Amino acid sequence: MIFLAKKKTNDKNKQDYAENDNLPNYEGVTDELVEKLFKKYGANKPTEEEMKMSAETYIRSREYKIFTKREENKWVRRYEKWCAKAQKILPVSVTEEEKKIVNKAIEISDLKVTPEGVASFSFIVFAIFLVFSLITALISPLFMILFAVIGYAVFNYLKKYPKKAVENAQVKASGETILAVLYLVIYMRHTPNMEAAVKFASDNLTGPLANSFRKLLWDVQSRKYKNISEALDAYTKEWGEFNKPFTDAIYLIESSMYQTKEEHRKDLLNRALDRILDGTFERMSTYAHSLKTPVDTIYTMGIILPVLGLVMFPMLAAFMSDMVKPQTIAIFYNIMLPIFVLFFEKLIFMKRPVGFPTPDISNHPDMPKKGCFKMGGKNVKAWPISLLILLIGVIPFIMYLTNAPSQPSEKDIFISLLPIFGIAFSIWFYTKNISAPRLKILKKVTSVEKELADALFQLGMRIGEGNPPEIAVQKVAAVMRESETAMFFKKITVNMKRLGYSFERAIFDENYGAILFYPSPMLKSVMEVLVSSSNKSLEVAAVSMINIARYLQNIGRINDKVVDILSDTVSGIKFQASVITPIVSGVVVGLTSLIIIILSLLSSKMEELSALSGGDLGPWALGMFSMSGSVPLYLFQPIVGIYLIEIVLLIGSLDADIETNGHPLYRNNIISKLILPAVIIYAIVGVALTVIFGGLGKAALAIGGSFGV
């Protein structure tokens, strides 16, 4: 069996094997001596069958121990533990039909739970939330509703967790299906060995699908399946209709093994890659066209209408002061509505077909530490500086609250904008400094992936001319000049010339290998194929590079189409978050300021008239314009501002989910670009309208008052 993975075993795996393999090696021990030793110490010699079972158990435990170390998940382990405890505390019965569904999900997801345990745990958690709901009802009815709704949502999530675990695993694994098929096709093209191809794919994939492929190999070794084809058939059945192009591609690759003619075998492999690419494009097109209605619904029902509804609150507060309180508005707008929008965003994202995975750059030599950015070559934590920026905006506002005037004025709006700017600048600083250096590294890696098809085609042509890979990469680097691919090839050349490394070591060395600075799984696998095929012959290496170049060109073509069909939705979302929502929110603040200031002045005038008339106006006339129970401007504006910031964060997250499959670096980058323009536009519109409307209102009252005199 031929494997193209690196020959070096990492130190951790070496240690795992050493712990189990460090057994004494006795030489010269005869059967007679063994019999005497057993008789001497009164022990029974194990039978051959028992010794065979013991050896198999040892081998399985050693391999499985190494495999399971890759699957550790603290949340899953805790969930399993809590389900087991809940089943003992309060057993809940489950119907046979539900038990059958849950058991199937448990088997596929490999969770160590029972249907009864899942039901018990979800019921206990729901009961706890209901208790909190009843307790908080004494504070506010909205708190009671909030805890009841959250409790029901958590109950449904925990109850359906095994099924969701399967769906989430499939969604995450979908991001690697194209690469998985590509790796299988690349390997099977020059070495028709299915088990070795799966091993090659598992070594180069980095996500959940890599673990699934490793488990398939483990299941074959432990005799759960007779061969890798049977294991793959069982695995693809789990996908069902979730990703039919992937299952079809796997079947085509398996079918290629039974072809007698070489051209037919390669044709099936090409069709397998075309099937997964075309299928991904079709699914993404359908998803993009279905996005318009739900996105418009979220924006209208969750953002525009609630913001416009805020205009009514000052009037409601004036006439229904007992029911409309600042905390009521804050709970509804700053907690319940964002949860509502987030919930529907996740529903949209769950239906997204995952296309092309993003390279993992966490081990790049130039990467800052987690939560840090580099300043002067040193790692600096971002959150303390962000917290300081936040406090600079919040502390003056708190000081203002301690001595806030009773009469509303434009000053309330100006001062209350300070915490909004503090929050916005702190978020901008954190997201900008966390994403910028990492995104710079990521763009270099993705640039190599985009240029790889052209580079490999040139490389294949150079090798086909009789140049060894060592010379071919130098010539291609000279032609491509300052591109990132040229930088990668130059790094290989430098390692060979200055460090005296071989071609393979110049690429894969653990300390100085060129692949360390460009940690792309695709690039790594292509270089492994180049090294392996060049060991066979230059002709094989040239053909392999040219074929891979054609595959990558097809992938790039589909990727460009996917980006194009999503561009309209993405640009619309960004425009709504950075322009439309801030303008609408600013208009609401301006109109609300006008209403509250005018009503407050009218209330003062009515009190003056009542005093002059000896109280003949009556309490009804005074109460109609009373603003004693209304929401103060210095509290109303922060509620709107915080809601705007939350909406920008949610829309930025939705944009990242749609465009880049929720990659955290792209999400932070999008938020850093949206947050400041949105808050600045909101502040300009809000302040301008407050000044204009407030001045006009006061002027109108002054003119009316002069005529009244």
Q: What is the rounded CA–CA span in Å between residue 678 and residue 451?
A: 36
19 confidence band (pLDDT: 50, 70, 90): very low
State residue 604's pLDDT score: 64
Would you state the structure tokens that stand for residue 324, as one six-digit string?
Answer: 């409309």
> Is pLDDT at 596 greater than 80 in this prediction?
no
Share of the chain above pLDDT 90, in %: 8
Q: Model confidence over 38-52: pLDDT tens digits?
A: 555 444 545 544 444
Instruction: With residue 374 as reference, give the H or E element that holds it.
Output: strand 372-375
Contact status, residue 432 vs residue 670, Cβ threshold 8 Å: no
The single-letter code of the amino acid at 438 is R
What amino acid is encoded at 406 in this protein?
S
Measured distance CA(579)–CA(569) in Å, rounded: 15
> What six digits make up the tokens of 427?
């978020």
**Among 16-25, 85-94, 112-121, which is the least confidently predicted range?**
16-25
Rounded CA-CA distance 496/693 in Å is 73
Question: Worst-scoring range by mean pLDDT, 161-175, 599-613, 688-702?
Answer: 599-613
H or E stretch covering 408: none
User: Is the pLDDT confidence value at 380 over 80?
Assistant: yes
Q: If you average pLDDT over residues 147-152, what whole number do you get?
A: 81
Q: What pLDDT, on a 0 to 100 scale, did the predictor assign at position 28? A: 47
C-alpha span between 421 and 618 (Å, rounded): 45
pLDDT for the residue numbered 141 = 73
CA distances from 584 to 82, 577, 596, 654 (A): 46, 11, 18, 20
Res 352: pLDDT? 63
pLDDT confidence of residue 202: 84
Q: Is the pLDDT of residue 353 over 60?
A: no
- Closest of 82, 249, 655, 487 to residue 473, by C-alpha: 487
Q: 573 versus 253: which is more confidently predicted? A: 253
Q: How far is CA 248 from CA 214, 229, 587, in A?
A: 21, 14, 54
What pTM was computed for the model? 0.70
